Amino acid sequence: MMRKICFTGILLSVISGILIAQDITFPVLDGYKKIMNYPVYTPENLWDHINGAADGYLALGFVDLNVVEYKRGRNIIKLEIYRHSNHTMAFGIYASERNPTYRFVNLGAQGYITGGVINFFKGNYYVKIRTHSDKPKVLRSAESLAVRVANMLGGDTEMPSLLYQFPDEGKKINEEKYINESVLGHQFLTKAFKASYSVGNDSFDIYLFKFNDNGETSEMAKKYLATADLEPVQPESGKYVFADGYNGTIFLAWSGDMVVIISGLARDQADIADTYTSAILE
């Protein structure tokens, strides 16, 4: 007998001990048979599917994973649909696995193809499609499946809006990240977008934080400055340079609801840091 349970806001059915999501409809792929004998993976059992990699997904708001295989003869195309708590978290896990050398394609908010792998994110979803076949016909089928899944899933098809706050000059394309926990190794630094830069002979990273109100902004700045035995002169805004025992020289600036941290520059390169922090905050 089938019984229904509610789990993480998703209606699931239990059939022979296997969880099957009711709100994911896997597309038909012409000529292929769908094999749907995978459970729905949740935070409790994600390790069963991706072992040690599960921690990275859980740190970025993983909710559940639905898996299906498409089989035609000996050729198999595997589809994985990871659901995360929001669009930013989905971007975070997607960005952690992309490489700027991949071939980027217009799928969802962004996607890429490398060999028999097609990954993209859209809304709260991170989608991974792969095949071990190198046959052109199978690869075309995998691409067709990716398009169908992208059209099927709802959600935002834009990159997270805060990414557009990063200045373009010197920014390394498709290397932006989202770090949800322990930014720069500090537990009190959370929820940062990161962009890497190369300007002349200088390479540095910019971390961008956006808070709900000015009070949260000043509190974070105060905590970070305290690690260097410094106190802000005024809570509303400020620009400081100090030594971080873990990360070397740090440039910290904040105004309103935004904080900017720059690492990788020397103390005497304050002019470069000021150029970029001013472009973001002003």
Any bridge partners for residue 111, and if so which?
A: 105, 120
Tell whether 170 and 252 lie within a shared domain. Answer: yes
Question: Per-residue confidence at 21, pLDDT binned at 50, 70, 90?
Answer: very low
H or E stretch at 214: helix 214-226
Residue 110 CA: distances (Å) to CA of 84, 93, 129, 150: 16, 13, 14, 10
Q: What angle do CA 142, 147, 152 make, to 5 degrees?
A: 120
250 within 8 A of 243, measured Cβ to Cβ:
yes
Tell whether 275 and 168 lie within a shared domain. Answer: yes
Tell whether 137 and 254 lie within a shared domain. Answer: no
Q: Give residue-wise pLDDT tens across range 143-173.
A: 999 999 999 999 999 999 999 999 999 999 9
Tell whether 147 and 12 lie within a shared domain. Answer: yes
Q: What does the alpha-carbon distance between residue 197 and residue 213 come to, in Å, rounded to a whole number?
A: 28
Residue type at 222 in one-letter notation: K
Tell whether 103 and 45 lie within a shared domain. Answer: yes
Whether residue 181 is predicted with pLDDT greater than 60 in this model: the reply is yes
Tell whether 110 and 140 lie within a shared domain. Answer: yes
The CATH number linked to 234 is: 3.40.1000.20
Looking at 152, 180, 205, the residue that finishes a domain is 152
Question: Per-residue confidence at 4, pLDDT binned at 50, 70, 90?
Answer: very low
Total domain count for the chain?
A: 2
Tell whether 32 and 98 lie within a shared domain. Answer: yes
Tell whether 197 and 99 lie within a shared domain. Answer: no
Q: Which of 33, 28, 37, 35 is nearest to 72 (CA)?
A: 33
Q: What angle do CA 87, 175, 266 make, to 5 degrees?
A: 120
What one-character-per-residue DSSP string does 116-144 give?
TEEEEEETTEEEEEEES---HHHHHHHHH
Q: What is the pLDDT of residue 25?
A: 84
Q: What angle do CA 178, 182, 188 make, to 5 degrees?
A: 115
Looking at 120, 152, 184, the residue that finishes a domain is 152
Q: What does the alpha-carbon distance between residue 200 and residue 176 come to, in Å, rounded to a whole number?
A: 20
Q: Give residue-wise pLDDT tens across range 63-113.
A: 999 999 999 999 999 999 999 999 999 999 999 999 999 999 999 999 999
134 within 8 A of 127, measured Cβ to Cβ:
no
Looking at 127, 152, 177, the residue that finishes a domain is 152
Q: What is the pLDDT of residue 8?
A: 34
Question: Per-residue confidence at 52, pLDDT binned at 50, 70, 90?
Answer: confident
Q: Which of 118, 110, 117 is nearest to 92 (CA)?
A: 110
231: domain range?
161-281
Q: Which of 128, 116, 118 is nearest to 84 (CA)?
A: 128
Tell whether 165 and 275 lie within a shared domain. Answer: yes
Q: Mean per-residue pLDDT for 262-280? A: 97
Tell whether 145 and 165 lie within a shared domain. Answer: no
Residue type at 281 in one-letter notation: L
Tell whether 67 and 198 lie within a shared domain. Answer: no
Tell whether 131 and 266 lie within a shared domain. Answer: no
